[in-house]
Structure 1
Amino acid sequence: MDHVDRIIAQWNKARPDLDVGPMEIIGRLSRLTAKLRAEMERTWKAHGLNAASFDVLATLRRSGKPDGLSPGELLDLTMVTSGTMTNRIDQLVKHGLVERVPNPEDKRGFLIRLTEAGFATIEKAVVDHVETQHRLLRGLTPAEAEDLNRLLKTLDERVNSESRASSRE
């Protein structure tokens, strides 16, 4: 019996009239997310990064645009607010990992691109990040990992659909 099992047993005893089955799944997902995040943060920290800085550097690296991305493109690809993105960029500039350069397509704008140090950092960090993720999922067979991924994707799609429907009401 794990922590979530104990919570569910307590609820079943205190309120047998409630179906707390969803609480069990969501509780396990929440606890697992926290554990997974802590392990990944340890990896990022080894490279002098945190989740936010890793996200921006990884987005710039995987974009396939060596000249950089506009702040708007970064916003679209990372899903954070503009104020948050500005702060992230400022911190990365301060640490010499990215730079602001004029945007040749918009004389008033600029692009954010990796510096040599930023490129070297994300190259090393992403290798370790992927190794950490493999280690964390080592307990699953490839078929189990595929099934779990499919189920999580289905749940995500249905929760998003439900969320959109309830926001229209």
Structure 2
Amino acid sequence: MEIKDEVDRIIAAWQVERPDLDVTPLAVLSRISRLDRHLDKSRRAAFAANHLEPWEFDVLSALRRAGEPYTLSPGALVTQTMVTSGTMTNRIDRLEGRALVIRRPSPDDRRAVLVELTDPGRELVDSAFHALLEIEHHVLEVLTDSDQHSLADMLRSLTRQFEQLS
């Protein structure tokens, strides 16, 4: 068997040590796990070049995607970023301290607040998103457009097991 990458080496070793087990999932899921680590490093570099932490980008990009006036409730931010409400409160506080977001009273409910992206926050997230896309386009250039669409479809199928889209 020709060894093509580190995952192939790992699979070959397990097949020798545990021939009684079907290690087929490793061929896909170990590569996804390793790719995730590489992508995390690349993403962190893109964000760091824009003076952002990944969690800051997550919150700012959720607000940016909301469209004008770039506001969401803290609850909507919790849902989109998959963190606890306590964590989100801390994150909003920190972003507000950097003048990247502000809290405003909700026009619909005086007891509620909305988080709004400031102009400097919008400019920063736009710059970081541009840097991120440059890196991600470069990562995917080894695949044809058709392969990219097929891979996206396959990964969506796997992801559905864990996420419920509303």
TM-score, structure 1 as length reference: 0.89
Match of 1:165 in 2: none
Per-residue deviation, 1:60 = 0.3
Match of 1:70 in 2: 73
Asked if 1:46 corresponds to 2:49, the answer is yes
Q: Could you tell me how far apart the structure 2 residues matched to 1:140 and 1:112 are?
A: 39
Match of 1:3 in 2: 6
Asked if 1:160 corresponds to 2:166, the answer is no
Match of 1:132 in 2: 135
1:92-111 equivalent positions in 2, closer than 5 A? 92-111=95-114
State percent identity of aligned pairs.
44
Q: Could you tell me how far apart the structure 2 residues matched to 1:140 and 1:78 are?
A: 29
Q: Could you tell me how far apart the structure 1 residues matched to 2:53 and 2:136 are?
A: 16
Match of 1:36 in 2: 39
Per-residue deviation, 1:133 = 1.3
Asked if 1:151 corresponds to 2:154, the answer is yes
User: Structure 1 residue runs of 4+, over 3 Å off?
Assistant: none
Q: Could you tell me how far apart the structure 2 residues matched to 1:147 and 1:31 are?
A: 20
The 8 Å contact of residues 67 and 111 in structure 1, kept in 2 or not, is answered as no
Per-residue deviation, 1:67 = 5.5
Structure 1 residue runs of 5 or longer lacking an equivalent are: 162-169
Q: More helix by proportion, 1 or 2?
A: 1
Match of 1:57 in 2: 60
Match of 1:164 in 2: none
Match of 2:30 in 1: 27
TM-score, structure 2 as length reference: 0.90
Q: Could you tell me how far apart the structure 2 residues matched to 1:10 and 1:73 are?
A: 46
How many residues are treated as equivalent by the alignment?
160
Per-residue deviation, 1:22 = 0.5
Coordinate RMSD, CA, aligned: 1.4
